[in-house]
Structure 1
């Protein structure tokens, strides 16, 4: 089981935080990560509207590919936390890790008076907390 990466996407679809935890991921440019985050934001919005039931849907929570899966945690403010994991990673473990990262984000980033909401996250305290939650392999 492996956790490959973490993305935080703001409510407008912009990538505000990206971190890789293994060397096995494809090397992408910053622009390519921005495009992927915007695309995922659009897909998530579409899946929220495609619900076959009459109730409200929060959109896709897990997207599985042939070699990895993406687990999405949508916050009340519209910020998305995305964890890229191996297929063997249990959904419960990925969801728990995302919840812990969200709590660290709320404590280390959103309580920082010098952080501007919706802007890139540049916090050593947050980086340290993420490293404690998700160790690099």
Structure 2
């Protein structure tokens, strides 16, 4: 499966991890990524309240002309966002694996402060092993 990028957004809407896996993505500044993450957080909050049939967890997939954002919301409010081509179908299972890596390497790390940027080599190396150059 081709992966363009991965974002981890904390429960307050702050971008705590961002990584691109292909050269084709537009080069954005860190401030632009923070604004995009905050905007996505707001859209997710709005869509969770729009359900006509009762409580909803919000948007799970957002499609553009040439890409798809797949969102995994955890019980703690952390969002994992995978940017993929439209044709990819394994994004949900890949996000679940990313969440498992996050749980094992970030949440079990006594030196990591929750809700703060993720700067853990073990997380990066396991994400590279999973997604590598965009293939999983």
Secondary structure of the corresponding residue to residue 4 of structure 2: strand
* Aligned pairs for 1:1-137 within 5 A: 2-53=2-53, 55-90=54-89, 93-137=90-134
SS of 1:56's equivalent in the other structure is coil
How many correspondences in the alignment? Answer: 134
Q: Secondary structure at the match of 1:113?
A: coil
How far, CA to CA, are the matches of 1:94 and 1:62 in structure 2?
A: 10
TM-score by length of 2: 0.97
- Root-mean-square deviation over aligned CA pairs: 0.8
Normalising by structure 1, what TM-score?
0.96
Gaps of 5+ in 2: none
- Which stretches of structure 1, 4 residues or more, deviate above 3 A after TM superposition? none
Deviations 1:31-54 (A, max 9, x none): 00000000000000000000011x
The unaligned stretches of length 5 or more in structure 1 are: none
Q: Deviations over 1:1-40 (max 9, x none)?
A: 5210000000000000000000000000000000000000
Q: Distance in 1 between matches of 2:132 and 2:52?
A: 38
How big is each residue's C-alpha offset from its partner over 1:85-122, in whole Å with a ceiling of 9 and x where there is no partner?
001111xx100110000000000000000000000000
